[in-house]
Every structure is written in C-alpha cells, then in structure tokens.
Chain A
C-alpha cells in the first residue's frame, strides 16, 4: 500500500436525520442539518482551501482561507463556521475570494522560513499545499519585516520537536489538546503579533502538563510540531493499517514506513476504537520492537546456571518436544502446561490452547487474564450470560452519569478516557469510586460529582450500600426488572437489610453515608447511567462478587441493553478479551463453553481428532502450587513475565525453580527467562499477522508491517512444537486459524479476514443473527435469557492490617509505562517514569520521618523491597500506592497469595505493609548494588 492519506472534510460530522440540500459550485449535495459549508463542499467533491480547519476539531474561523461567496448573502463568510441552509448556493472559486486567499497566504509566508526543500514536513505541509492551491506567486510584503524566525526550538520532548518559527498560530494544536485529548496543556500566549503557542506558562513541553498523546502533532498543518523520527528519517512512503499492542482500547494505527523501516505510527481516523486519537504509548513508544535487547535466535541451556547457547529453530523445537514428552512419561500427562498471553493475537492464543488440549492431552492452559480480569468473565457470565462488556466505546457519548470504579482511565486507557472526558465536558455527571484521588476526580473542566474514597477491599460493601439506596428509596426500574430479570426479590430483600445501609457500612468502607446516598440517587435517576471499571474491582478476594454486584446495580436501574449504559470492563492488555475468548481458561473452550459440555467437546474432538478431557485443568496459581508439590514439572510461557507480574514473587520463583523445563517465548530475556531452559524468540506486533480483540469485543486486524525478525511467526512455533510432539498442526496463514475459530465458536461464526477487511473491524457476537457484529449487547434479552440477580454478601478479606503491618498497599499503572515495562522501559518513555515510586500520605510520611524522594523499605509478611517515596495526598492516610513497571523495584515481592474466591485472581489491591525510612548510607549502598545488578543484566 502507498502512503494512505485520509480525506479531511474540514469540520466534524453532524449526525442527524434532518437533511439540507445545497449547491456548491453548481454541484448539488444533501447533508445533515448543521453541517458546515466547508464540509458540504468537501462531500460534494469540492476542496475549499483551509488551514485552521480540520475535521477532528470544531470550526474556529481564524485563518480566513476558506472564505466563500454565498448567493444572497453579503461578504465572504468563512465556510468552516457557516452552517448550510436549504437552497443555499455557494461559490468557492471567485476572483474576490481568490484575492483574499492570496493576501492571507502572503501574510503567512512573510513570517515563515522559506526552507521548504529541507523542511522535515516537505511533502506533508498544508501551508505548502495551500500556497500552491491559491496560486501564490509573490509575497508583496517581503521577508525583512518583524518576524518570529529566530524563535527557539523546543526539543525537550523525546518524540517530537516544537519549532515556533514555523508556527502560523492556527490554534489547531491548542484545540486538539483540549477538544480531542482533553488535557488543555497548550494555550496561545500573548496578543496580536506576539501570539504564540505555549505549553503551560512558558514552560518547555517536557515540563508542562502535556501527556504526549500526539494530537497536537497530528493536528499541526506545518512542521511546527513534528515527529523526531520524521526529522531523522524523512517522510514515510507507505502505510499499513494495524492495531496497537498496548492497552485494551485497541487503537487502529497507520504504520508509516520507508521501505521496511517504521518511521511513525499515526492514529487511523477510521479506527472503530480510537477514531483518529492516540496516546503516548501507541503513538510513539514502538522503539522496543527494534531494541538491541531483542532476542533473535532460539536459545537453550541444560541448567539455569548455564550460559545460553544459540541454536537453530529445529533444535530448539525438538529439545522442547522431547523434554515435555519425557516429563509426561515420568510424571503423567498432567505434569505439563502452558500460559497464554494477552499480548499475542487471537490466532496465536488459539493454537496454543489447541496444542495443550490436543497435543499435551490435558487442560492445563491458563492466561495472564487470570491475574487481571478473570472475575469479569465469571461475574458477567453469572449475571448477564456472557463474559464480556456490554457496550462499544462510542456508547459513553450517550451516558448521562458515568460511574468509574477501580479504574484510572487517563493513565491506563487514555484514548478511551479522552472520549469519556469529552462527554463529561458536555455535562455528564461523574462518580468515582476509588481509594486514590485519580486525575479524573478533578482535572481541567472536569470535576466528579462524588468521589467515594473507600477503604481498599470494601468494594462489595459499597456496591451493596448503593443498591440499598436504590431499593429502599424506590429508585429501581421495576418495569425493566419485571420484564428482563430474575432473582430480584431475593436480592432486593438482601440489599435492603439494615446492615447494608450506607450508615451501617460507613465504618467499614470509610465512605460518608450522605455522599454515598447522593451518588446512588444520581446514578439511579439518570436517563442513562454507565459503569466503567478496572482492576480496582477485579483484583480483590471478592473480585467476582463485586462484578456481580455492579451487574445487579445496573439491572436494578434498567441500565443495560441500549447505548449510554452498561457494565464495561476496561481491559488491561491489548488482547485480554481475545485471549479469554479463545479458550485460554482451563475449564473452557473458545466462546466460554465448559469442557464438561459433551456436545461442545465433541465438536472439538471431531475437528481435532483427539479425545479431550472433560475436567478442568490447573490455573496459573494452581500450577505454581503443584510445581512446589512436585507434580507439575514443565511450563510453556507465551509472552508473559510471570516472575515480575504475578503476586508473591518468592512463591512464583520457587515454583519456577522447581520445574524441570521452563520454556519462555518472548521478545526479551525477561525476569521469567532467568528460570527458563529454552528461550523461543517472539515477534513484535509489527511482525504479526492476525487479530486482537479489545475491551469492547472489537476484533481488529493486526497486519505485519515487516517480516518476523526471528524468521518464524509465533503461531508457527506452536504448530511446529505440537507437530514435534506427535500432533500434526499446520496452517498456511493465520486466516485459516480464524476460519477454524469461526467454525467452532458460535459468537465468531461470521468473523473472517474478508469481513474484517471489508468493515475494518467487527464486535462479536458476529454470526447469522448479527452479520456485522454487535456494538451493544443484551438489547432485547440477556444472553442467558433473563438477567440474573445474585446475592453479593460482603466478606472482609483475610488480609488485615496489624501493628506490624499497619498500612495497606494498593497497586496501579502510570500513563507512560505498560504492565511489567518490558516494552516501554525500552523506549523514550523512561523520560517520564524511570522508576517505581511509593506514594505515601503526608501524615504517614511524617510519623515515619519520610521525606519526598527518600528511599524507603516496603515490607509485607511475604517479602520486602526498597523504592523511593513520593509524599502525596492522593491516597488517604493509611494507604500507600505503587506501580510494578520496573523489575528492580519488584513490587510484587510484597503482594500475597490471597485471591478471588471464584477465579483465583490475585488480590493485588490489598496488602498489609509497613514502610520505613532507609538510612541514607544504606540507601546509597542499595542503589549501588542495584546499579551493578542492572549492569550485569543489560
């Protein structure tokens, strides 16, 4: 594909049924009411010159280049700010407007460097284009007048340059920062000729509130804001549309290349999830794919103390196959298993679980979703009948009240957060339920109506109290409940009990009863109330109970089955939804169908030609326990770093150390690889062909931008291994794998690469009933028929604070880093977050003599680590917070074995800890030791 340039209609679409017919340069066009003349002209095929207008932003009317003449109207109105009217006749090319446009361009160019041939935006500059379009042949003002050509360039940002000498002050960047991203970091400073774009109050970009989403760079019509990679490498020449491999939003990007060299990632306007927006990770942090740390050749070693030995693929595959079969012969067929990755494609995950079930001959396959969203799968299946969120992302634009529970979208799901913030700026109300004061609670033009700052581990008590208010104050949607649900009476009787009232739960949750009652009323009485949640819900001993509690609340208020409502998990990794859909759980085949279901199992047995086990296999924590017990001896880890991401790392590493064979398939020698005997090099998302499924059930194509640098696709590695183990598995192309998935999975029945290429993406269920997918689920009926209310008894966690461990640690994620950091730590993103820090409330810091930046020891009953303190009142007293992006910190050394009762999802969010100041001399020694360790590792 050559370089893909998407059309720019100048101003945003104005959806609506009412239409208006107009004539532009003699061409008739009918457009929705409210459409601008500029957009109507573009839809008629007439390009009106423009500079300050672009269709991702509201019209601004400043450049005066899009002026037109309209019959019967005086003057030359700007077509971007003029809405169409019935019968309007527009002329876009007249001597009068031509003269005006030339005059405007002359003024612009009199204060613009004339270095087009050496400018990085040469060939991608709208100012250059417009000079040609208006037929500019002279600049009567000359170039010697007062100008901005000496303005200093800001190169502080790792990814883009800001060259104010090239700025035409069109405000597109400022508006993009506000309207698209919602950060409002940029402004126009000064007046008149002194007007200039400024990040913050005269700060450098890197020092400002800029979040480096790239919206300003995208919007800039000149080289003022320019990707550093374009400056360094030149303009790309071809595009490949693919899907980001970071969070569960699943943004579509144009990978723009010169030859096989990736120059930049540009958000794709037709991407269903992101519609042209991006965040700092997807837009810029792709350098890890070519990082020198990448492992390119398979490696083996007998013992983990031996040095690695590079081998050819055949030897590596044969080694793994022989050793796995040998372990099974000695310890039984159930002594080996595999962990699938939420970073891999659906096709890669599907063949992995197929290998386990058919070639290994057991059900010991689990996925990293075990440690994040497995309670979502359980809870939503129990209540709604389907293990997935109910809405598409666009739905939030119809929400009147948005309840965010245990999620931090601006850091962890930033592109969706921008959608949400747009709706909040339009007037939707916000309720935040979180122990931490996340940015959404109060940020530019946004303030939560209620922040229920609950104590960690009391989610279920809070959701029951909210439900108590709904039921006892007569706020339930009785007609919805009567028509669509079952089990309401028993549940209503339960939540109405006095012990579930806000007043009774206040001492447990710490949430003032009056505030909670007001929040419940706000949600229940909203025309559309939507719930969005994250790992602050699931990663608890009652994670599954809380998911069911939210589903109960939504059903009770009639907030399911249409746009603007629903219960929506914000998935952590790019393909959490997909890896779960693809049968990665040890008790389920694809499409969440239990292995004990004879009818379903027969389908797979017939297709795969093997008898399959009807009993569940081991989950990840069960594998670790079984390894320590000695009857689980071999593990294949696909693209996960369990020795950094999983809880109670001492237990994890003991389990890994006790196995005879650990196989790691990854881009890098990660922490888990320290315990591995075979390393199979993986392919980056730029080298993959397949699909990811995002948090809104959207199946997106992942297209290979370049061939695998390791010489083998990851799905081929699995097929080769299964074949070497005596179970032939072969496909010519991942499209055949998807065809097989569609063949055996009712919710994927209609999915094919042909359909995805045609529609761009599709949200499952996609089948005969919904040939183009299902944006909103449970519209007329729930998947299970009736929505099921489940009694959600609050059970306090076993993890309690004591005099020895008096604080509660909770963990989270930061914008610039991703998960265990294996990717983002190998990019320029380290400029923002070079280490994990511990947020400590000023009171807790003071009584411990801890100052901002001090090194502190963080200890729980299972382990301890050291890190730097950040004194912050984001957390309430008694609660501390950190991230787990850096292996040096090892935050999961202190997290415990406690897990969700239903799914064994770890309780990362609640660990009783103590924090103590490390003496400066000891801290210096520790720092030196860590430097040595890093030096050795690198």
Chain B
C-alpha cells in the first residue's frame, strides 16, 4: 500500500489507472490531456525527467503520454 515513488510518478499512475478502461491509444491521449490541462509545467518537467531516467515504477501509459507531451514540454516556472 505504501509507495516510495516520487509524487509526480505516483499521481500520473493514478491518472493512468482511471483511464485504463479505454483503448490504449485513447487512454494515452486522456492521460496526456489530463496532465497537460491540470499540472504545473515544472511537475510535467519532473515527470518527464523520471521517464527519461528509466521510468521506474511508472505505468506504460504514462510513459507513452509523456512522449506525447514532449513536443509541448515546458521548462517554465509556473
């Protein structure tokens, strides 16, 4: 039950689980859309970094969603 994942990875996994009933491509779009719409850019950057560093413990749909978001990747400060 406990998690040692960084918050961004944990929260992104939660989002992925909420959309897991969708076909894979739609689920990835939904995860990317949700993160893009509700997350501060620095959180997206941090998640992207975790994915780039090996995506340990991060759901595959999240990894794919991050790739989808990459062209829109932000370095902003929120």
Contacts and interface: CB of A to CB of B under 8 A. Distances in A.
A834 interface: no
Contacts of A587: 37-38
Contacts of B17: 795, 901
A417 to B, nearest CB: 33
A545 B21 CA distance: 13
A622 B18 contact: no
A861 interface: yes
A618 B40 contact: yes
A333 interface: yes
Nearest to B43: A622
Interface in B25-78: 34, 37-43, 74, 76-78
Nearest to B74: A615
Contacts of A616: 37-40, 78
Contact of B42 (A334, A586, A619): A334
A613 B20 contact: no
The interface centre, meaning the residue of A615, A631, A802 with most chain B CB atoms within 10 A of its CB, is A615
B58 to A, nearest CB: 15
Given A615-B74, A800-B1, A586 B20 contact: no
Contact of A622 (B20, B37, B40): B40
B78 A363 contact: yes
A799 B14 CA distance: 12
A798 B78 contact: no
Contacts of A362: 77-78
Contact of A545 (B8, B10, B18, B41): B18
Contact of A802 (B1, B22, B41): B1
A616 B35 CA distance: 10
A798 B42 contact: no
B78 to A, nearest CB: 3
Contact of B21 (A333, A494, A625, A912): A494
Interface string B5-24: 00110110011011011100
Nearest to B20: A793
Interface string A892-924: 000001010111100000001000000000000
A615 B40 contact: yes
Nearest to A904: B11
A708 B68 CA distance: 53
A364 B1 contact: no
Given A334-B42, A793-B18, A902-B18, A618 B78 contact: yes
Among B3, B8, B77, the most chain A Cβ lie within 10 Å of the Cβ of B77
A791 interface: yes
A626 interface: yes
Contact of B7 (A332, A545, A798, A897): A897
Contacts of B10: 897
Interface in A389-441: none
B15 A902 contact: yes
A798 B3 contact: yes
**Dominant secondary structure of chain A at its interface with chain B:** loop
Contact of A621 (B7, B18, B20, B41): B7
Contacts of B22: 791
A456 interface: no
Nearest to A335: B77
A823 to B, nearest CB: 32
Contacts of A596: 37
Contacts of A793: 18, 20-21
Contacts of B38: 587, 616, 902-903
B70 to A, nearest CB: 16
Of B7, B34, B74, chain A has the most CB atoms within 10 Å of the CB of B7
A377 B8 CA distance: 22
Nearest to B11: A904
A355 to B, nearest CB: 16
Nearest to A861: B2
A541 interface: yes
Contacts of B74: 615
A734 interface: no
B13 to A, nearest CB: 9
B42 A626 contact: yes
Contacts of A690: none
A681 interface: no
Nearest to A800: B1
A22 B74 CA distance: 76
B42 to A, nearest CB: 7
Contacts of B34: 902
A615 B76 contact: yes
A798 B76 CA distance: 32
Interface string A786-804: 0000010101001110100
Interface string A256-287: 00000000000000000000000000000000
Contact of A615 (B2, B11, B14, B41): B41
Given A334-B76, A362-B78, A904-B11, A798 B1 contact: yes
A566 interface: no
A542 B39 CA distance: 18
Interface string A140-159: 00000000000000000000
Contacts of B37: 587, 594, 596, 616
Given A616-B39, A798-B1, A800-B1, 7 more contacts: A334-B77, A364-B40, A542-B18, A587-B37, A616-B37, A793-B21, A903-B38
24 contacts: A332-B77, A333-B77, A334-B40, A335-B77, A364-B78, A541-B14, A586-B40, A596-B37, A613-B78, A618-B78, A619-B40, A621-B7, A622-B7, A622-B40, A793-B21, A799-B1, A802-B1, A861-B1, A861-B2, A897-B7, A901-B17, A901-B18, A903-B38, A904-B11
Pairs of residues from A and B, 6 with the lowest C-beta to C-beta distance, nearest first: A334-B78, A334-B77, A901-B14, A793-B21, A332-B77, A800-B1
